[in-house]
Every structure is written in C-alpha cells, then in structure tokens.
Amino acid sequence: MPRLVMKFGGTSVADLDRIRNVARHVKREVDAGYDVAVIVSAMSGVTNQLVAWCKDAAPLHDAREYDAVVATGEQVTAGLLSIVLEGMGVNARSWQGWQLPILTSNAHGSARILDVNGAELIKRFADQKQVAVIAGFQGLHKETGRITTLGRGGSDTSAVAVAAAIGAERCDIYTDVDGVYTTDPRVAPKARRLDKIAFEEMLEMASLGAKVMQVRSIELGMLHKVRIFVRSSFVKPEDIDPKLPPPGTLICDESEIMEQQTVTGIAFSKDEAQISMRRVQDKPGVAAAIFGPLADANINVDMIVQNVSADGATTDLTFTVPSADYERARVTLEKAKDAIGFDRMDGATDVAKVSVIGIGMRSHAGVAAMAFKALSEQKINILAITTSEIKFSVLIKASQTDQAVRTLHTLYGLDK
C-alpha cells in the first residue's frame, strides 16, 4: 500500500469542530487506500499560553523543563484526533515523539532531528491498518532520556522526517492557505498560486520572508527527496474530487518541473536592520574583528557592502542583521570598538529586503539589471545588493516595500 504523511497546523486543529474536519480528511485518504501517518501541532494559541506560563513561573527557567511543558500542546491534539477517528470507525492510535522514537540533539527549545525509527509504524500499517497520529514539534534526546522540542514550525520538520523514515509517497502539509504563491497576495493582488516549485526555490523563499513553510523542513525534504504538497485544510473533504488533482503546490525536485520560468516568486522581509561602520581602518583582519564578535553572540549577518575610501586608509562597511538583534548587535560592536577601530556607527530599522527568486536565472543574463532599472523608474533607492545563483536581494526603505514588490511582480510576468 502507498504511504502518506498528513500534517495539520494549529489553525487547522484550533477546536473540536476543526479536529473533526481534519479527521474527515484523514478518513478520505484511508478510504482511498493509503497507509496514513498524521502529524499534528498544538491547537491554535495553546503553545503561546504554555510559553507565557513558563516565563511567568521564572524568567530564567530551565530549558529542559520548558520543553516538558510546551510539548504537551501537541500531545493533547494527538489524543483528541485519535478519539475522533476511532469514533468514525478508523483504527487510530496517538504517538508521542519519544515513542517512535524521534531522536534529536540536546539543544532544548531548538533541537535538530538526528534519526526517526519508522519500523513500528510500518509494522502496524501492515498488521492492523492503523493510522498513526503523531505529536509534532517534539522528540527525544537518547542519552539523557529527556523530551526535546524543535522550535517554532517544528511540526513541519517532524512531518518531513517521518515521511522520509516510512518511505511515504509524499508529505501533505495542510495549512490555512491553499498553496505557495508568487508573492504575498495581500501585497500584490495578482499573485498566483504555483502548481509546482523546486526545493531550492522554496528554500530561498522560506528563508527570505515567505511564511508558508519552515526552512528546516524544506532542507530535510531536499536531502531525502520527500515530495511536499502544501494545501488548505479548510476545503471540505467532501468537496474534493478524487479524480482531479487537489488544489495546492507541490514542492519537488526541479527535474519534475517541465518548463521553468526565469523568475518563480518575490519574497520580502521587513524584519531587517542596517548598521554602518564609518571610517574603519582598512587593514587585514578588520572584517574578522567586526563579524567575529557578532558570530559569538549568535547574530546572523546578511547583506554586506564595503566602500573603500579614496586614500585607501579607511573604509565604510554596511551590513544587515535581524531587527530583533539590532540593539544587541550595536552593544556588541561598541564593546569591540578598540579592536575594530571605527569613527562612528550609524543604524536604521526602517529598511526591508526584497528578493527575486528563480532557478531560471541560471541560464538567463540581465535578470537583476531589469529590476534595478524598474526600481529606479519608481524612484526606489537601493541601499545594498546581494546575489546568488538563483536569487538576488535588494535593501530598500521599508515604506517602499509594497511598491517594489508589485513593480517586480509585474516586471517578470508573474501577474499573468
């Protein structure tokens, strides 16, 4: 029998009515002949409440106990969905992360999956036709025997890892949108849902601001060649025609995509901050003196622009960090001022990063140049640029983000 993994996020299981709707989706796939494993998130808002309780109990709480608390949200959902499925005549059992087990690193609150044992699930598929309802977001550190959690969006990662472990035909991610769009439809009303998108493109879009999928889950899917299908949980199961392809977006290997557009999508992020170091001594080791302390503080640096002065003695160096790390980055650099040797430090939080993504860029010249010309015609000033093989990003004023996204969306023919 073909195997299928179905993952449902917090809004999809927000209350018992929605859990019953999820159960009907699961029963539809069971009736179609699939062996099904279901990964569930906590009910909408539950994890936030659990996190708040941990903070109220003690601002500097033990990360191991934090995981023991926040992992309970998914356990509740798994149990409730199993009860509802049993009431519908579907043989189902709930599983916690430690029961499979899903083995992880010891980084509590942001653990990484190391291994998933799917043997028992496969055995129960064969012997009992039993649906496995698995609590997402959680695992087990083998050496300590402690429950771990995978960080925000970790249920997506759980789902892809389980799909790889059981050799699933695909991993269906049910969410509150019906797929991956060329950009945010709230910004560009003409944005279109993509039928297919390559792993590399989706990885770039997720890391550059698209909120549909979690980055680590895409990395895992690409590594293990797990086809991921993003679809809406709010379409009524009875309204889905089994003879037609369901609406959604398939994330797959680029070899499955017959014709590749030059540009696939536009992503943007307003969670950016810019830091400029003025009149830095232009000498070997200065970059290490700046970025070393930031790396030690676990602050990610993205765009970097360096302008060497006319006399060659000093340089201006500008870079971006996540806006949440802006103040911490400034403090870190002020402490290292003597080692770096700069005159002053400027900063701005009213900036945004807009990125153009597409595998087709590999074989087309001038894609970025078109964007620079179009943005200049709209009087949008570019503060910094970064490029890679399949994407380029520009830093602009945050107030011009929507205008830039719509301009680029139209420029590359994504409106059609």
Annotated binding site for ATP: 7-10, 175-176, 181, 186, 211-212
Give the Cα separation of 55 and 288 in Å (integer). Answer: 36
Question: Residue 66: CB partners within 8 Å, gap ≥ 6?
Answer: 51, 54, 108, 109, 149
Q: Which residues of 330-354 are buried (b: 16+ CB within 10 A; e: fewer)?
A: eebbeebeeebebeebebbeebbbb
Are the CB atoms for 1 and 96 separated by under 8 Å?
Answer: no
Residues forming the annotated binding site?
Answer: 7-10, 47, 74, 175-176, 181, 186, 211-212
Q: Please enumerate, by residue number, every residue annotated as part of a binding site for substrate.
A: 47, 74
Q: What is the 3-state secondary structure (H, E, C) of the chain?
A: CCEEEEEECHHHHCCHHHHHHHHHHHHHHHHCCCEEEEEECCCCCHHHHHHHHHHHHCCCCCHHHHHHHHCHHHHHHHHHHHHHHHHCCCCEEEECCCCCCEEECCCCCCCCEEEECCHHHHHHHHHHCCEEEEECCEEEECCCCEEEECCCCHHHHHHHHHHHHHCCCEEEEEECCCCCECCCCCCCCCCCECCEEEHHHHHHHHHCCCCCCCHHHHHHHHHHCCCEEEEECCCCHHHCCCCCCCCCEEEECHHHCCCCCCCCEEEEEEEEEEEEEEEEECCCCHHHHHHHHHHHCCCCCCCEEEEECCCCCEEEEEEEEEHHHHHHHHHHHHHCHHHHCCCEEEEEEEEEEEEEECHHHHHCCCHHHHHHHHHHHCCCCCCEEEECCCEEEEEEEHHHHHHHHHHHHHHCCCCC
